[in-house]
Chain A
Amino acid sequence: MNFDLSEDDAALQDSVARWVQQRYPFDARRKLAAQAPGFSAAHWREMAELGWLALPFDEAHGGLGGGPLATALMLEQLGKGLVLEPYLPNLLLFGRLLQRAAAPHQALLPALIEGRLQGALAWQERHSRHELADVQTTLRPAGAGLVLDGEKVLVANGAAAEQLVVSARSAGGRFDTAGLSLVRIDATAPGVERTPLQLMDGQWVAHFRFRNVAVAPEQLLCAPGEGFALLQQTVHEAMLALCAEAFGVMQLLQASTLEYVKTRNQFGVTIGSFQALQHRLVDMYTALEQTRALLVRAVCSAEDRSADALRDLLALKVMVGKAGRLIGGEAVQMHGGMGMTDELVVGHGMKRLMVIDTSFGNAEVQRARFAALPA
C-alpha cells in the first residue's frame, strides 16, 4: 500500500498546476470561450512542446506511456482552471481509439502528439442519450466501398475537428452491441455537414449530418460490426479522466467558496463564522474527500487491471455526480448574489460539473449500472 505520488508524477502535477495558474486567469478563459473553436491554438502548441500530448500514448507510437494515474493527474489540474483545450475529446477519445485501431490509423498518432491534428469521436445521436450502442447512423456497402448516412449530435471538439471517428451500424437492430462499426472520416468530406454549437460550460461542440458519405474499407478502425468493445473500453478510460477533471473543478469551487466566506462581512462578522454555513462547508469538504477516495480507488484498480475496475469506476462516476451537484450548488449559494454573476468563476465551475455529471450517463444511470453488476 502506497498512496504517495512518485517523483515523476509529482513533478508532472506541479508543472501542469503552474501552467494552469499562468495561462488560465478567469478573464482569459472567458475570452477564449467566446468564439469557436473555444480554445487557444497557441496553448495547444505549448502543451505539445511540454510533452503533455504524448502522455496518454504508448511509447511505440512516440508517446510517454502514461497510465490511468498520469492521465488523471493531468486532468485534475486542468479541471482546477476550467481549461478549455480539448485534451479529453481529442486525445483520450479520438487518439486512444486510433491507438487501438489498425496500423494506418495509428500512423496519425505522431501528428496528434505534435499538436498538428484535431480529432473527435462522434458517437451520440439525438435519441441515444448515454447509450453507446443505440446507433441509427448506418454504414452500408456501396460498390467496392461503403457509404455513411445519419446524424451525430453534441460531438465534443466537433467545432475544431479535422477528422472524426464515427460509430455506425453495419448490422443488427437499433440497440445491439454487435454490428457497430467505427470509421474515420475527414470532417470536411463531401456529404458531411457541420453546425458548431456552444454548451453551457463554454465548450464548443458540433452537430454533424452525413449524407451518402463515401467510406473506403481502410477507413474502418477494426473489423466491421466489431467496434463496440473498442468504443466502450475507450469511453470507460475517458470517464475515469473526466472524473479526475471533476475532482479538480470541485477543488476550485471549494477553495473559492472558503475564501469568500472568510472575507465576506455581514452583520459585522465574516459569514464563515456562522455555524449553519460551517457545517455545510464541512459537508462540501466531505463530498470532496469522498470523491478523492473513490478516484484514488478507481485509479489504483485501473492501474492494476483489477477485476473490480469497472465497479470502482461506476462508483466514482456516481459520486462525481452527487458530490458535484452538492458542491456546485452550495458554492453558488454561499457566494450569494455574487454567485449569480457570469463574471465570477463559481457559476462556470457549477456548469462544468453539471455537464460532466450528465456526460456518458449521469449519477442515476451509473448507479443502475453499478447495481446490476454481479455481486
Chain B
Amino acid sequence: MDARFSDEENAFRAEVRAFLQQAWTPELAARVDDDDSYPQAIGEWQRRLFERGWVAPGWPRQHGGCEWTPTQRYLYELERSAIGAPEVPPFGIKMVGPVIIQFGNAAQQARFLPRILRAQDWWCQGYSEPGAGSDLASLKTRAERAGDHYIVNGQKIWTTYAQHADWMFCLVRTDHAARRQDGISFLLIDMKTPGIRVQPIVSIDGVHSLNEVFFDNVRVPVDNLVGEQDRGWTYAKSLLAHERTAIAGVGDSKRRLRRLRQLAQRETCGGKPLAEDPILQARLADIEIELMALETMELRALFEASKGKGPGPESSLLKIKGSEVQQAIQAVMMELAGLYGAVLPGGLDAQAIGHDFGDEARRAYMYGRAATIYGGSNEVQKNITAKAVLGL
C-alpha cells in the first residue's frame, strides 16, 4: 500500500503549478472577484486555459480535451485551489459537454463543442422546477412535437446564471409514460428564442446568480434533441455522476482552512489572538481531521477510478462530507468576523469598520448553505447510500 504519487505525477504537478503561477494574475483575480466583471473575466480565464490545452481535462482528445488520468485531474485541482484560481463555469465543460460527447450526434458536436471550449457560449442548467427538486423525475415542463419543432411550455427554477446564458440544457417531459423517468428528453434551447422569460432570484448572500425561467410556446428545432426522445433521464443521470466526482472540494477547503488560521492569528480579543483559544483550536483540529479523512477517501476513489471503475456509491459520501466540511469552515469564519460580518456593503468601506473579511465571511456562509442542497441534497445522498451500499 502506498499513498504517494509517482515521479511522473509529481513532474506533471510542477508543470501545472508553473503555468498557473504565470497565468492567474492578480489583475484577473480582482476582476473575477467583482460580480459586475465576473462573466467577462471568467471567460477570459477559461480562454487562457484553452490556449494551454487544459480547459477540458475529462474530454477525449478528438474533441479538444486533455484525456488526463483521474490522478492528473486531481493534481490539477489541488494546484488550482492552492493558488486560489477559480473553476471555470461547470455548465459547459463539466455538464453539457460530456453529454453531447457521449450521446449527441456529429452535427451537435461540431456545432457546440468548439464554442464550449472557448467560452463563446454561456450555458445554464434547466433541471429543477418549483415542484421538482430532490424528486427531479416529477418535472412537468413539457415539449410537444409539432413538425420539425418541439413546443416547450413550463417553468424552471434555481437556474444559475440564466441571465448571462446563451444556451440552456433542459430536461422536458415528452411522454407520460408509466415510469416517470421514461418520458423525459434532453433538449438544447437557445435562450434568445421568443417566449423565454428570465426572472431574477436574489439569494441570501445578496447576490443575483439564480433565476426562474419561464417558457411560453417556445419553439425548439428537433435538431436540438440530444440522443433519443424520452431517454433524457439516462443522460442526465450520467451527468450527475460526473458532477459528484469533484464535489468534495478538498483543495478549496484546505485553502480556506489556511485562511481561517491566518485570520485567527490576526484577530484579537482581550489583547490575545483568537487562535490561542483552546476551544477554537479544538474546532479547527476537528475540521482538519475530517478534511484529512476526506482527502484519503478521495484518493482511494481516484485509485479505483484509475483501474477503470466509474464513480461508485462512495461519491455520495464524498459529497456529504465535502459539503459538511465546507460549511464548518464557513461557520467558523463567520464567528471570527463577529458582528462585523453582519455589515452590508454600502455605507462605510470595510477597513473603516475595522474588519476587511466580514463581507467575504457572510457571503461564503450564505452561499455555502447551497452545498448541502444542490447536486442531490445530502438527505437524498443518504437515501442513495442506504439503498446502494447498505442494502436497506
Contacts and interface: CB of A to CB of B under 8 A. Distances in A.
Nearest to A312: B292
Contacts of B3: 1, 3, 296-297, 300-301
A304 B293 CA distance: 18
A273 interface: yes
A13 to B, nearest CB: 12
Interface in B287-308: 288-290, 292-297, 299-300, 302-303, 306
Nearest to A272: B392
Interface residues of A, number: 42
A107 interface: no
B289 A278 contact: no
B274 interface: no
Given A3-B1, A273-B392, A294 B282 contact: no
Contacts of A312: 292
Given A278-B383, A371-B285, A304 B290 contact: no
B323 to A, nearest CB: 13
Interface string A300-322: 11011000000010010011000
Contacts of A5: 1
Interface in B250-293: 261, 278, 281-282, 284-286, 288-290, 292-293
A153 B306 CA distance: 50
Contacts of A272: 392
Contacts of A303: 1-2
25 contacts: A3-B300, A258-B390, A258-B392, A262-B392, A278-B386, A278-B392, A281-B392, A282-B385, A286-B320, A286-B321, A289-B317, A290-B290, A291-B293, A293-B295, A293-B297, A293-B300, A294-B289, A296-B3, A296-B300, A297-B296, A301-B3, A367-B286, A371-B282, A371-B284, A371-B285
B50 to A, nearest CB: 29
Given A3-B300, A5-B1, A371-B285, A285 B389 contact: yes
In terms of DSSP, what is the predominant structure of the interface of chain A?
Answer: helix
Contacts of A275: 383
B345 interface: no
B351 interface: no
B253 to A, nearest CB: 15
Contacts of A315: 288-289, 292-293
B244 interface: no
Contacts of A183: none
Interface in A335-375: 364, 367-368, 370-371, 375
Interface in B303-337: 303, 306, 314, 317, 320-321
A294 B284 CA distance: 17
Contact of B321 (A278, A290, A368): A290
B71 interface: yes
A364 B285 CA distance: 10
A281 B389 CA distance: 11
Contact of A1 (B71, B282, B320, B389): B71
